[in-house]
Amino acid sequence: MEESKSTLSFIGIGLGSIALLLAIVHFWAGPFSPQPTLEQTVAEKAVSIKQATIAALKGKEAPAPQSQPIDTDQIISIGTAVLGGLAIILGVIGFAKKEPMRVAGGAAVLGGSAIAFQFAVIALGAIVLAILVVAVLSQIGIG
């Protein structure tokens, strides 16, 4: 009887579990789309920063960044965020409907963990990339 009362929260636990598993698999097994090498990425960022700096000093407008098509990795990241968000929402709705706190909280925690895992990975990557770009810029005499 208790399980049928907690339907939304149990669905949230399922979605949150899938989201967290998807985030972890993507981190360990990915990327699934072809990625530029670290050297190419750092070089492109360094050149872009140099060109934007020169354009700003000359009073010109910096070129607009080019949009790129969505690849498999972006679809997985978006899917993970959507599933995690749905798990949180279902957990909150379950809590509001007075479903057991352990079930509703589990859904919210799993969804939040999936989203937080993605943010942590992105933050770590951004920090490493920033350090490498600064190192390259200082080597070519801009920093």
Supply the DSSP string of 32-95, one letter for each residue: -S----HHHHHHHHHHHHHHHHHHHHTTPPPPPPPP----HHHHHHHHHHHHHHHHHHHHHHHH
- Tokens coding 7: 């339907």
Is 19 or 47 the better-scoring residue by pLDDT?
19
Q: Structural domain tally of the chain? A: 1
Sign of CA dihedral 106, 109, 112, 117: negative
Give the Cα separation of 65 and 127 in Å (integer).
21
Provide the domain limits for residue 80.
2-62+70-139
Query: Could you read off the pLDDT of 75-106 as tens digits, one per residue?
Result: 999 999 999 999 999 999 999 999 999 999 99
Structure confidence at residue 70 (pLDDT): 86
Q: What does the pLDDT average to over 62-81?
A: 85
Residues with Cβ within 8 Å of residue 24, at least 6 apart in sequence: 117
Percent of the chain that is helix, strand, coil (3-state, to 5): 80, 0, 20
Give the model's pLDDT for residue 33.
85
Rounded to the nearest integer, the mean pLDDT of the chain is 87
Q: How far apart are the first and last CA of the chain?
A: 66
- Tens of pLDDT, residues 28-57: 998 888 887 877 877 777 788 778 888 777
